[in-house]
C-alpha cells in the first residue's frame, strides 16, 4: 500500500518546541501508516516538509528494508532556486530513493498541481502537514479526501 506526503515549504525553526512537535507527529503518522500496511511512500521533493518527510522515510528504511521511497519530481529544474544546503539535501534524497519519477523535463504552469494529483492518484494514504489555506498543500489534502484516501493530518 502507498502513502503520499503533502506539506508546507515553511517549517518551524529547527531548535524550537514547534519543530520537535512536528517531528514527533511525523514519526507517529508514519508509524500509523506502516501499521495500516503502507510500505511505499511518495514525496514531491519540494523544500520544507517534503524533504523532511523523505529524509524520515530514508531513516525508517534503515530499520525496515521493506519500506520504499519514490520521489515524484514535477520538472527537472525543481531545485534551481533552493539554498545550497537544501539543494544538497534534495540531491541526497534523489540519490537514496528507490525511484525518481520526473514528470516533465521543464517547468510548465500547473506542473506542481499535476505532480500532487499524480501522488494522490497513486496512493491510499496521505500524511498532510497543513497549517494554512489556500495553499498547494491544502489543495492536495482536499484532493486526497475527495478521492477517499485515509488522511493523517499532523
Grid coordinates given for 89 = 539535501
- With respect to residue 96, please indicate whether it lies within any of the assigned structural domains: yes
- With respect to residue 58, please indicate whether it lies within any of the assigned structural domains: yes
Domain carrying residue 58: 2-7+34-153
| Number of domains making up the chain | 1
CA atoms of 58 and 50, how far apart (whole Å): 12
Residue 116, pLDDT score: 97
CA atoms of 137 and 130, how far apart (whole Å): 6
Could you read off the pLDDT of 28-58 as tens digits, one per residue?
999 999 999 999 999 999 999 999 999 999 9
Which CATH number characterizes residue 39's domain? Answer: 3.40.50.450
Could you read off the pLDDT of 66-114 as tens digits, one per residue?
999 999 999 999 999 999 999 999 999 999 999 999 999 999 999 999 9
- With respect to residue 13, please indicate whether it lies within any of the assigned structural domains: no
Residue 90, pLDDT score: 97
Residue 115, pLDDT score: 97
Amino acid at each position: 500500500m502507498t502513502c503520499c506526503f503533502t506539506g508546507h515549504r515553511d517549517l518551524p525553526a529547527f531548535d524550537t518546541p514547534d519543530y520537535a512537535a512536528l517531528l514527533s507527529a511525523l514519526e507517529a503518522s508514519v508509524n500509523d501508516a506502516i501499521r495500516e500496511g503502507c510500505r511505499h511512500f511518495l514525496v514531491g521533493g519540494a523544500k520544507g516538509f517534503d524533504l523532511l518527510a523523505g529524509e524520515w522515510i530514508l531513516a525508517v528504511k534503515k530499520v525496515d528494508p521493506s519500506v520504499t521511497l519514490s520521489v515524484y519530481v514535477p520538472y527537472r529544474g525543481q531545485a534551481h532556486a533552493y539554498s545550497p544546503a537544501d539543494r544538497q539535501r534534495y540531491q541526497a534524497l534523489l540519490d537514496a530513493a528507490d525511484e525518481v519519477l520526473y514528470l516533465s523535463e521543464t517547468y510548465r504552469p500547473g506542473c506542481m498541481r499535476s505532480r500532487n494529483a499524480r501522488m494522490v492518484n497513486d496512493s491510499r494514504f496521505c500524511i498532510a502537514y497543513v497549517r494554512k489555506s489556500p495553499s498547494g498543500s491544502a489543495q492536495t489534502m482536499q484532493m486526497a479526501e475527495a478521492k477517499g484516501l485515509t488522511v493523517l493530518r499532523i
